[in-house]
Amino acid sequence: MHKLGPTARTKVKRLPKRGHYDRDVVNEVLDAGFICHIGYVIDGQPYVTPTAYWREGGHIYWHGSSASRMLRAQKSGIPVCLTVTHIDGLVMARSAFHHSINYRSVMAFGTASIVDEPKTKEAAMRAFVERLYPGRWDTLRPVNKQEFKATTILGMELTEASAKIRIGNPVDDDEDYALPIWAGVIGLKTLVAGIGDDARLAPGTRKPSHLDSFAEDADFGALLKRYKSS
């Protein structure tokens, strides 16, 4: 399936030309980030929790949150909205009204459930680490039974989602272009600030080569893109 919408709840109504429903576009925005905001409802009250996520093919997985307790009681799954947002720039127009933000976001709707099947869960835990740090999993002290049990991975199928993207210069009212008011775009970037040793490293322990790419001022977005979903 190449289209993930539009559906009644994913259709971008305000500024519809910013909306995208192709699976490839949605995947690209998802794969460019690692923190999402999960929305869920308890007794009519919305909750929004930030957490680490990753995509594997047509599924999204994320690390357990307070929604997990709720899910343990409701094995059939709960409705969630998973939103990912990248801020690329600030857009300054000639009027306050046309100031805007350049961004890429995805809103995905689905039914979250706990990943319980051991093989799937183990693969998900591995991907959780490898997605950020390719090559790291095999260097670590292996996961023990208690840790395996204490880790909650949630997942949902990616079937209904939209991407919303704004790029480029401000769009002003026609008559305002003649005004001597400056307009333009401020770009933003997320970089590696540095990498530091833990204070309690065992003697002789050196930073492994799988982390060489996390050098000061490395483009963090580019590093995230290295992970290839199955």
Q: Among residue numbers 74 through 133, which ones bind its own copies (CB under 8 A)?
A: 79-83, 85, 87, 89-90, 92, 94-97, 99, 101, 103, 105, 107, 109, 125-126, 128-129, 132-133
| Smallest gap from residue 58 Cβ to its own copies (A) | 21
Strand partners, 84: 106
Number of residues engaging its own copies in binding (CB under 8 A): 94
* Burial of 146 (C-beta count, 10 Å sphere; 0-12/13-18/19+): exposed
> By C-beta, is 27 or 36 nearer to its own copies?
36
Site for its own copies in 55-74 (CB under 8 A): 65-66
Q: Which of 184, 212, 225, 226 binds its own copies (CB under 8 A)?
A: 184
| Smallest gap from residue 153 Cβ to its own copies (A) | 12
Answer whether 107's CB lies under 8 Å from 39's CB: no
Exposure on the CB side of residue 209, measured as CA atoms within 13 A: 0
Q: Which of 46, 118, 119, 228 binds its own copies (CB under 8 A)?
A: 46
Site for its own copies in 154-173 (CB under 8 A): 169-170, 172
The residue type at 143 = V
Q: Is the peptide bond before 180 cis (omega within 30 degrees of 0)?
A: no
- CA dist 208 and 138 (Å) reads 12
> By C-beta, is 2 or 145 nearer to its own copies?
145
Site for its own copies in 15-34 (CB under 8 A): none
**Among 58, 55, 53, 60, residue whose Cα is nearest residue 36:** 53
